[in-house]
Chains A and B, each alone.
Chain A
Amino acid sequence: MTIMTRFSSRLDLRSGAIDMTHGAGGRAMAQLVSELFVRHFDNPLLAQGNDQAAFEVAAGRLVMSTDGHVISPVFFPGGDIGCLSVHGTLNDVAMSGARPLYLSAGFILEEGFPLEDLERIVASMAAAARESGVPIVTGDTKVVEKGKGDGIFITTTGLGVVPQGVNISGDRARAGDRIIVSGSIGDHGVAILSKRANLEFETEIRSDTAALHGLVAAMVEVIPDIHCLRDPTRGGLATTLNELAQQSRVGMRIREAAIPVKGDVRAACELLGLDPLYVANEGKLVAICEAGDADRLLAVMRSHPHGTEAQVIGEVVADKNAFVQMETNFGGSRIVDWLAGEQLPRIC
């Protein structure tokens, strides 16, 4: 990735669009990299112009995670595919308790994608990376023909390092442990749905997309022995709890009344026939810890801006079936199962 800096005319970021030359490896691609990616991501490792970023690694356990982003629409209330692609990967790294260090970004752009939109997305990624203190140090761009992509796909990879004494894993939930959620669920999914082309509705709800490594750092500092951490993204809280239950071979009992759901999210879900337990989040986490640690962990979460509405929602129980069960507000109990297919509005 040799970076050229002199071109006959500047990229037309107002009315230009991606064409096949932007992925062809020639001058046009070099200009795109230089005038868009390098300019916005702005860090010394990227500015070296190598095909890779080289850096010293700290001693300890390294963590690596990757995530592809294919969201539609690319701009939504509370965020866009750019900041989402940074937050999503930072969160996946952070859910090991790690401090994220570096990010990479791969772009697949569809011919015809407006450069104005691309710049908006790249600027949003750059801002998210800057706020998180984690630079995007290497990247790649490919262009596919019109009709062979959905505008823009972004894949990000993150590297991080786990502090000494932290051993967080999805298989460590034990009977008696407490289950904590960091805030209201379903905001991201409802914000996205409200802007889907065939389903527009008015709502004040904004995506909760946010980087959670700051919250995680505060949590592991107080309670290094957190057993499990996971961000309930696709499939929502229900899916995450089922994953953890299965990995740890335990059951879970949660209380509907304890799970924070915003009124607008509940109303939108009610109208569409969706269950907020299965709706995606991008700035929330689930923590599982020993019962004796729960109060202190909850307190530190609530004192962090991304955890003010944290709640203990239930506990881990012994259950060879690994079922997640919920006490309903109605007074019954029901299983909260894996999602089959997609959640769909009901017809009748």
Chain B
Amino acid sequence: MKYVDEFRNGDLARRLAATIAREANASRTYNIMEFCGGHTHAIFRYGVQDLMPENVAFVHGPGCPVCVLPIGRIDNAIELAERHGAIVCSYGDMMRVPASERRSLIKAKAAGADIRMVYSIRDALRIARETPGREVVFFAIGFETTTPPTAVALREAQAQGLGNFSVFCNHVLTPAAIQHILQSPEVRDLGTVAIDGFLGPSHVSSVIGSRPYEYFAEEFQRPVVIAGFEPLDVMQATLMVIRQLNEGRHEVENEYVRVVTREGNLKAQALVAEVFELRPSFEWRGLGDVPYSALRIKDAYAEFDAEKRFPVATRRVRDAKSCECPSILRGAKKPTDCKLFGNVCTPESPIGSCMVSSEGACAAYWTYGRFRQGSPRTQEEVAA
């Protein structure tokens, strides 16, 4: 398949691996945070870690849109369907994420709530047009990648006067999260989480460009290399981070030049700016309250804002006891450090959000890496 196979070529991978092994300085370690779940997924699916020398380690970041959504917001979505009788449309990944009291969207659906899995917000618009007598709410989540389509849909709803459609907005911003991680005491003062550099977001950067990372590459003196989601992208970008660290540089570099520019997609940015504005603060699962890290719908589109249309009050809900998702999302712990991992928490019955989404670090560890952990448990025991 053209434009795909080229970036999964095994011979090139071995050559790149040899270059990385040669250039990585044996007297130091390289802790590289891949921000996006897409990178985490590629690293595990293709066994990229196996091709790295021992002193090059990947620290998995919070870039999984499903994983960072606080539990209270999922409770809100369930309430919109159950208490307010709305048809709630959600991306499939959200359906199984645990909410309060061991509930989830899929369990609420089974109990009779009208919750529908959609592939795109366009499907939600269609459902709203086809069911004029019902309120239809789109459960909008995701980083800058999914925000422009939501903006387009809101404009369309307004232009068509689609009075029964609204959006429950949970869009969050990548740069704010990276900055928050770098400012955390674990990274800045205590040094308990070592992050020497970043693999910058792939699809997100196609929208926002590489410019937004320039501030913290400078401020926090960490190299950022924007990387595509293919395994060779990840390896090439890793080599670029290593070279920057070896040379004492801390710049924003772009490995993903076939898609990402410095300015990004200006049209998409303009759309987003027209429809959304910054929230002063938003809770992230794992990171807590992060200032100016999320978007809300502007007043001009207030009638399509589910939070204004319905009484939505978000409660703070603590994660399940001993679930390490918060630490895992900050890169402070690995999935295997969690007592629940692979034990009571598996993709079949997830306790924490990192085990649900295929972009979550726990799910990637479990699905692709299980045999490496020397787990003594057999599949019969798991099934039992």
Contacts and interface: CB of A to CB of B under 8 A. Distances in A.
A321 interface: yes
B367 A344 contact: no
Contact of A332 (B48, B118, B126, B358): B48
Contacts, number: 116
A337 B367 contact: yes
B348 A347 contact: no
Interface string B22-47: 00000000000000111001001111
B292 interface: no
Contacts of A329: 8, 10
B358 A346 contact: yes
Contacts of B8: 329-330
A260 to B, nearest CB: 14
Contacts of A266: 1, 4
Interface in A263-278: 263, 266-267, 270, 273
Contacts of A6: none
A203 to B, nearest CB: 14
A345 to B, nearest CB: 6
Contacts of B47: 328, 330-334
Interface in A294-337: 320-323, 325, 328-335, 337
A242 B348 CA distance: 15
B51 interface: yes
B280 interface: no
Contacts of A321: 371, 375, 377-379
B269 interface: no
Interface residues of A, number: 33
B383 to A, nearest CB: 8
Looking at chain A's contact residues, the main secondary structure is loop
A5 interface: no
Contacts of A347: 65-66, 91, 93, 141-142, 145-146, 357, 359
Given A321-B371, A345-B119, A348-B36, 16 more contacts: A198-B126, A266-B1, A266-B4, A270-B4, A323-B370, A329-B10, A331-B47, A332-B48, A333-B47, A334-B368, A340-B363, A341-B96, A341-B347, A347-B66, A348-B63, A348-B146
28 contacts: A198-B119, A198-B120, A198-B126, A270-B4, A321-B371, A321-B378, A322-B379, A323-B370, A325-B371, A328-B46, A328-B47, A330-B13, A330-B47, A330-B231, A332-B51, A334-B44, A334-B369, A337-B370, A340-B346, A340-B363, A345-B92, A346-B38, A346-B41, A347-B65, A347-B91, A347-B93, A348-B143, A348-B146
